[in-house]
Structure 1
Amino acid sequence: MIPAPAQLRQLRLTEFGAIQGSTALSDPLTLTLEPGTVLGIVGPNGVGKSSLLGAIAHSGIASYGSALFGEEELSATRARRRAQLVSLMAQDHGAPGELRVSELVGVGAWASGRADPGDAVASALARAGIAELQDRRYSELSGGQRQLVQLARVLAQNTPVVLLDEPTSALDLSHQRAVEQIMRGLGNQGRIVIAAIHDLSLALNACTRVLLLDPGGSSHNGAPHEVLGPDRVFAAYGVRTTIHTTPKGRRILAADD
């Protein structure tokens, strides 16, 4: 479902960041994300990618600064209203094992108050490519299947801002490509997608912008091929890389040694 025009608003982060204890995890971020942006957050382990997503979603991660969707401050909105604006697929795919897949995906539709939860669940399962799992119990699924169920839950929530934490980490090649297409499709619908990603080739192909978080707390954002140029990747990861382009235009970032 394409968002209503009223939902097509900017997400503005102003001097924003996540806090762990009393420590800011990165330098303050000031970004304006237009409708249709697919932003990949990349950087080495431990720089705070997941925490930044949790801070935007206000899901138990403390934050500083401002995160405005349109004119609504996300940290100040009530939980039910925030669930209509922002959905989060976390790295932790835990959920009650006795729930059936359709029930768990239905939690997303319920959270945002969908008027057609049954249709939302069916559509989300089909888009995630797991309609055949709808009657299975969550405890019976593999790690990759659980990841796809959590993606379907987010799709059923149908929010204008979608946050994905390592959405392809447990998936095989075909499902990685499917998730990449889903991310681009959400952007084409006018949603704002923010994904924490370790796969830099995925960031090059799925994202319209990339935010690189450096270990020292600084950041760089812009076009994927510019932010993921060899000098910046080496400064962040300590690895020399080259971006290769296939005959069909896909970009692959590979280590030089």
Structure 2
Amino acid sequence: MRGNAALRDPLSLTLEPGTVLGIVGPNGVGKSSLLGAIAQSGVASFGSATFGGEELVSARARRRAALVSLMAQDHGAPGELRVRELVGVGALASRRPDPSRAIDAALMRAGIPHLADRRYGALSGGERQLVQLARVLAQDTPIVVLDEPTSALDLAHQRTVEQIMSGLGARGRIVLAAIHDLSLALNTCTHLLLLDPGGASHSGTPHEVLGPDRVFAAYGVRTTIHTTPQGRRILAADD
């Protein structure tokens, strides 16, 4: 919770390996707070999070870093660091056996090997976001937490992130992502959790959660889901 605000309803989730869970809802409903509580990033919470019977709250920092990686909204980091050094923080945090190879692979997957020797402070907002994503990939944890991972990215890089999220799920990772782009959520996530302004929550498949009535109740906007000839789904406002 933040600012003494909490969900009205108790929230209980069981996520299997391979789940890509999108957390959606209007601004201010607690998406980032929920992710921060799960990742134990300093957000006060009154529940528990376990993985394989292991309680994340009581796990030592080094052990937790081997289980959970977090890409927060705040992409701050020392500006003098080289990109390769910053991505390496992820590999070192989880004690990857070959950090150099892990860094190279993460930079390649994020599409930014050309940035490896640039200083972080000289990058654009979108480039910083990709560097932070690469840091998470280098950490290679079974639980991956992403807070608005495409907010500063252009169309091509949004597609890259979509493919990375789907790929993580295919490799048996559990991915939790706060997402504002509901079309991205439709095409990428196996499950969604919708938090509405009244404090309630709704979970299920993307089509179940993003039905027009439920979207209207949460956002106050009438919407329709369209499907392109290629099979991609687009959620669009009706007016």
TM-score, reference length from structure 2: 0.98
Distance 2:107 2:8 in 1: 36
Deviation at 1:31, TM superposition (A): 1.0
Aligned match of 1:117: 99
Distance 1:93 1:240 in 2: 33
Identical pairs, percent: 80
Aligned match of 2:49: 67
Report if aligned partners of 2:7, 2:200 keep a CA contact under 8 Å in 1.
no
Aligned match of 1:102: 84
Cα deviation digits, residues 226-255 of structure 1 (max 9, x gap): 100100000000000000000111000000
Structural mapping, 1:1-257, within 5 Å: 19-257=1-239
What amino acid is aligned across from residue 209 of structure 2 in structure 1? V
Distance 1:26 1:92 in 2: 27
Q: Give the unaligned 5+ runs of structure 1.
A: 1-18
Q: Which stretches of structure 1, 4 residues or more, deviate above 6 A after TM superposition?
A: none
Distance 1:109 1:188 in 2: 21
Count of matched residue pairs: 239
Cα deviation digits, residues 45-96 of structure 1 (max 9, x gap): 0000011110001011111122111110111101110000000000000000
What amino acid is aligned across from residue 13 of structure 2 in structure 1? L
Report if aligned partners of 1:112, 1:157 keep a CA contact under 8 Å in 2.
yes
Distance 1:60 1:25 in 2: 18
TM-score, reference length from structure 1: 0.92
Report if aligned partners of 1:26, 1:48 keep a CA contact under 8 Å in 2.
no
Distance 2:9 2:75 in 1: 29
Cα deviation digits, residues 140-195 of structure 1 (max 9, x gap): 10000000000000000000000000000100000000100000000000000000
Distance 1:72 1:172 in 2: 38
Higher strand share: 1
Deviation at 1:26, TM superposition (A): 4.7
Please tell me the root mean square deviation across aligned C-alpha atoms, in Å: 0.8
Question: Secondary structure of 1:212's partner?
Answer: strand
- Bigger relative CO (Cα 8 Å, ≥ 6 apart): 2
Deviation at 1:20, TM superposition (A): 2.3
Distance 2:119 2:193 in 1: 37
Deviation at 1:22, TM superposition (A): 4.3
Distance 2:165 2:119 in 1: 26
Distance 1:254 1:124 in 2: 33
Question: Secondary structure of 1:24's partner?
Answer: coil
